[in-house]
Structure 1
Amino acid sequence: MIIEKILGNLHDIDVKGRKLDTIDIEWYEVNKKILKKDSSLGKEIGIRLSEHRKINDGDILYMDDSEIIAVNIPESEVILIEPKSMVDMGTMCYEIGNQHVPLFLTEGSIMIPYEKPLMELLDKKGFNPKKEMRKLVNGVECHKHSHHHQHEHE
């Protein structure tokens, strides 16, 4: 089965007794336009999205009267940090940004994929990081860009 567009999200519809089949898509795969995956019920699914958009947890890839195939972003090891102030938040984001790792926000906390050296750095800086299993969703978009400088030469 080839999927070319997202039909909606499980959070917005009533499943109404349909059989729910899921496809695990890792957090680092959500921006890919082409994927090949097996569903939890063993169906081979090709994803080739016609529009460029991020895949989200709960996105519906297929739906008929009897079944729904939806995306599941599985939990993974994360570093969870809960800033105590805006100064803490800014300082943490600065430290994390210097490491060029993805950043995920929840109400009141920051999550990043677990890396032991970063965990040790954040602990050393006094941010009290915790290692937990969580879904990495709500990532902060990082737009790559280049700088073009115009110089006048005499």
Structure 2
Amino acid sequence: MIIDKVVTHIDSLSEEERKSRHIEKVFLQSDDLVKRIQRVVTDHGKELGISLAHAKELVHGDVLYMDDHSLIVIHVLPDELLVIYPRTIKEMGEVAHSLGNRHLPAQFEGEKMLVQYDYLVEELLQKDGIPCSREKMAVRKAFRHVDHRH
């Protein structure tokens, strides 16, 4: 089966719509969310080709296929992350500046800042007394490196 577009997102379906269908999952690393063309296998062994017609990043919960009986849904595997808990806006600015100098992409969830794990960044944050923890968790979207020139 070739998938050329995302049907919907699992969160936009009612609980009844989800419960009435068999759900298969496609497990992806966060890096794979940006790939427009790839071959994947569901947790039930069904092979799929993903060939998205339009450049769209996949996100956790995207529904690739849906009929009256089943759904095929993207499920992002956990990454090793550094979760940073800045206490003030000044501290957030200093952390963001430091990470920007390293060209390290970040994501934000509420008051938390998420970056892919890097032991040097962890050491820097600990040295500066910035609260952080190393956690294994799934991100909803891929970390994007910004294209830039100095």
Over residues 34-85 of structure 1, what are the superposed CA-to-partner deviations in whole Å (9 max), with x where a residue is unaligned? 1111111111111110011111110000001111001001112110011111
Superposed displacement of residue 101, structure 1? 2.1
Q: Which runs of 5+ in 2 are unaligned?
A: none
Q: Given that residues 104 and 137 in structure 1 are in contact (C-alpha distance below 8 angstroms), is that contact kept between their aligned partners in structure 2?
A: no
Percent identity over paired residues: 27
What's the secondary structure of 1:87's corresponding residue? helix
Q: Given that residues 4 and 50 in structure 2 are in contact (C-alpha distance below 8 angstroms), is that contact kept between their aligned partners in structure 1?
A: yes
What's the secondary structure of 1:101's corresponding residue? coil
Superposed displacement of residue 115, structure 1? 1.6
1:52–1:38 Cα change, 3 Å: same
Structure exhibiting the larger radius of gyration computed from Cα positions: 1
Superposed displacement of residue 140, structure 1? 7.0
Q: Given that residues 24 and 44 in structure 2 are in contact (C-alpha distance below 8 angstroms), is that contact kept between their aligned partners in structure 1?
A: yes
How far apart, CA to CA, are the structure 2 residues paired with 1:107 and 1:81?
A: 11
Higher helix share: 2
Superposed displacement of residue 16, structure 1? 3.9
Q: How many residues align?
A: 147
Moved more, 118-127 or 66-75: 118-127
Superposed displacement of residue 136, structure 1? 1.9
Q: Which runs of 5+ in 1 are unaligned?
A: 148-154
Report which structure shows greater RCO (CA 8 Å, sep ≥6): 2
Match of 2:100 among 73, 97, 106: 97
The aligned residue for residue 3 of structure 1 is 3
Match of 2:75 among 72, 75, 87: 72
Match of 1:54 among 37, 53, 57: 57
Amino acid at match of 1:8: T
Return the TM-score normalized by structure 1: 0.87
Q: Given that residues 104 and 145 in structure 2 are in contact (C-alpha distance below 8 angstroms), is that contact kept between their aligned partners in structure 1?
A: no
What's the secondary structure of 1:120's corresponding residue? helix
How far apart, CA to CA, are the structure 2 residues paired with 1:52 and 1:71?
A: 17
Superposed displacement of residue 10, structure 1? 0.3
